[in-house]
Structure 1
């Protein structure tokens, strides 16, 4: 149950951070305005809060593992929201990152 909770929190964190960054991008690069930027800043703040809910107490471990989730999640976001088509090297790289997440977060420790 702890692993499932951790995975759900990583997905929520990815949605908040990637979504927040995307909203800021849209506000600035696509000239959609301050409302989009403000929503992005709020989402990025939510990401920081969600990360604190992880069951593991080590900030460095959480953020290191989240980096791999961010890589994979960014590619998925690009596919769903922007129509980006990752190539096989994008997919392989994302899978390597997710294996790294599993090792960092869920390897048995003593």
Structure 2
């Protein structure tokens, strides 16, 4: 029974590491032209929502934090950081993603 759990734990670690590694890098050209950065003509798919969640997590959003006191500001901050990442990776703009609080009056909080 132990080898099964050991193999499962190793497989899970590899899966999580690969997801984190792919989410932490630059946005690809395909990601730059897809949801949430470009308007869609059809309904959002589950895969697109999962990709958006992965991108939000790559800039610091933690949906499992269970801190209702910071909602919705925590996801809005992650969306603002993701917009900066988009501007840097997809538009070639020289921007830095802030690690501190972004002013709520900033245009970064405008919908994607």
Fold in common (TM above 0.5): no
TM-score normalised according to structure 2 size: 0.35
Q: Considering only CA atoms, is the larger Rg found in Structure 1 or Structure 2?
A: 2
Between structures 1 and 2, the one with greater helix share: 1
Alignment TM-score, normalising by the size of structure 1:
0.35
